[in-house]
Amino acid sequence: MMNTCDGVGVGEGSGLAAWGGVWTAATGVGLGWTTLPVAGPQAPIDRAATIAAPMRLRSERWDLEVRPERGGRITSLRLEGEELLDQGIGVDQPSAKGFVEGGAWGWDEMVPNVNETETLPDHGEAWRLHWDVVRSGVTRCRGRILPWELERSIDVAEIVRVDYVYRNLGAEPHPAFWCAHPLFRYEAGMEVDLAEGTSTKIFLAKGSTRSKELRWPSGKGIEMRWDPGLTPYVSIWACNGDLGGYRQIAIEPAFGGYEGPGPDTAMLEAGAALEWWLEIRAL
């Protein structure tokens, strides 16, 4: 398979039909992580490549674009030419106070929280920050409010494979949290059935599944996979014309809780790291 990179740079829901699994309320309980020591110096960052051009990764079936300067957002994921990610409603403003106000589309990483707190912004810091290009397919971001670092490596071949490393760069332990936020395109007739103008957020039982499928009326379908031992918290967000007209569905694996760190979230020691992965396969 070909694997190339171009342009490296910078409400309450109604009518919900669950498609398997057990839906529960969020508990916010934490994880018993085994931490990994951070070994050796970090790879140098290619700052000459951090320009406002999208990073493009392609294979025979897949075409993926990333904007490092726009919070590392994956702005496009095409399967055999068909766009799978929601392209939004024309709003793209990362300096906005809220995530929806800033433009809720594409695929972002929610670090180190989802819900706004007294000190952390709505949907975390990562979607607002410039990500550095390390090398082809690899980008890195560091927090400004909390001392975290997230490195994301994307490989596009027969499947789309995303590997992550989260590091505590501080001098003290802190509760680590990450949540994937891929906003796929929603259409009537998909696995979650929503009435017009509504949205919903549902939660799977902790560690209950390692994959979920999405299929579009066009016939295209994907399976998103993860390791439930590493990312056991999974939520589903679906919106059919709510929030100003967004139509999207997201499968959101996470560690550290469903919506952010809670009182039982495991503490990550200073200098330690966590590693995990996601895969997307065509059906």
Question: Residue 166 domain-assigned?
Answer: yes
Please name which of 167, 179, 174, 163 lies closest in space to residue 142, comparing C-alpha atoms. Answer: 167
Alpha-carbon distance 60 to 43, whole Å?
30
Amino acid at 17: A
pLDDT tens profile 190-238 = 989 999 999 999 999 999 999 999 999 999 999 999 999 999 999 999 9
CA dist., res. 210 & res. 229, Å (int): 9
Q: What is the pLDDT of residue 31?
A: 31
Question: How many structural domains are present in the chain?
Answer: 1
Question: Is residue 138 a part of any domain in this protein?
Answer: yes
pLDDT over threshold 50, residue 10: no
Residue 17's pLDDT is 36
DSSP 11: -
- 8 Å CB contact between 240 and 198: yes
Q: Mean of the pLDDT values across residues 142-160?
A: 97
Give the tokens for residue 218.
Answer: 């066009």
CATH number at residue 242: 2.70.98.10
Residue 201 CA to residue 279 CA, distance in Å, equals 22
Q: Count other C-beta atoms under 10 Å from residue 188's C-beta.
A: 11
pLDDT of residue 264: 78
- pLDDT of residue 3 exceeding 80, the answer is no
Residue 25 lies in a domain: yes
- Average confidence score pLDDT of the chain: 85
- Residue 37 predicted with pLDDT over 80: no
Q: What mean pLDDT do residues 174-193 have?
A: 95
pLDDT for 91:
94
Containing structural domain, residue 97: 4-39+49-282
Confidence band for 52, pLDDT divided at 50, 70 and 90: low
Asked whether residue 238 is assigned to any structural domain, the reply reads: yes
pLDDT at 262: 82
Q: For residue 44, is it within any domain?
A: no
Residue 157 scores a pLDDT above 90: yes
Across 13-22, 101-110, 143-152, least confident range: 13-22
Count of CB atoms within 10 A of residue 4's CB? 10
Kindly report the number of other CB atoms within 10 A of residue 40's CB atom: 6
